Structure 1
Amino acid sequence: MLYLSLFITFFEIGLFGFGGGYGMLSLIQTEVVHNHHWITTGEFTDIVAVSQMTPGPVGINSATYCGYAAAHNAGYGEMMSVLGSLTATIALVLPSLILMVLIAKLFQRYLNAAPVQSVLRGLRPAVVGLLGAATLLLLSPENFGALSVSPWQFSISIFLFAATFIGTYWMKINPIRMILYSAFAGLVLLY
């Protein structure tokens, strides 16, 4: 039953998750953490961090790790957890694959049509909203610590957040380098 739930959940996310992997993160978190309780918020945060550092699209990587964690947390063995990974990954990719095959030729033919342009203009703000929601959902005590519990961890987290934002947005430092710098700073300052 878990595998069917995983398939349906990630198929729906793949079908309605406009804006790529980052746009899907808020949908994935809502489903796997809040609705199904397959993983905790802390586990999801770790999954997102690992998904960003590993090669491949962040949405697909997140689905793969979430499927594994959901099966593992449900008490399934190693191989059955791998099946959870495969189920979530295939379910997330399948809607895009089907839709792209079906509309590839039609899109080129009707790309400049007014209704198609209107649909695309309507989707753009929705994609930005999904990306913003993903960002806001990750601004949690699990990621930053709580000021009342650990002022040092909270202060370092806010500093790393600000430094990474400034470094990537204004100073145009490569995001991979910023991830490595932040990991090193976390190791030195929070260990």
Structure 2
Amino acid sequence: MMLKANLGVGPWSVFYIGVSTRLPLTLGRAIQVGGLFMILLALLLKTYPGIGTILHMFFMGFFIDLINPLIPEIHFLANQVAVLACGTVIFSIGSALYINADHGVGPKDSMVLGICKKTGRSIRLIYNAMEIMALSVGYFLGGPVGIGTIAVALSVGPIIQFFLKFLPEKEVRKQSILRSIFH
């Protein structure tokens, strides 16, 4: 949704679009490669992936490449703003839900949670820092940036943290893919 609002894409999309313009990768494949890298970094931070982490990495890229060509561009400013806002809130609620589901968060969130655990910093702070880094690198790689990019970069972390307050807290599951394989 946010991509088709034409007000600028989210920071990670700026990054992945920038990567896909520099390397012979589709946008979806760039997302998959980036997800694998984030999972490896999370492992170094002792945050173990669940099945949801692996599935997220694969299916996110797959469906981006499959569905993106089918969605029309949005041209009227009021509609663009509404679609960007709805997309940002839906994305944030979805992130909060799968973080809380405890079946393994997405690769980016796995990396963020690992950094939070290691540093003791808040999700909001680390998530926003990662969004701004992805935006900066993506911009220099040629990814599209607009006013919507800034809005998404500064709002997703706080929105996720806000919605997590309404979900029941769960004890972090000790079982993960790696632990179930190696133990």
TM range (shorter): 0.3 to 0.5
The structure with more helix, counted as a fraction of residues:
1
- Please identify the structure whose Cα radius of gyration is greater: 1
- TM (normalized to structure 2)? 0.33
Which structure would you say has the larger RCO, counting Cα contacts within 8 Å and 6 or more residues apart? 2
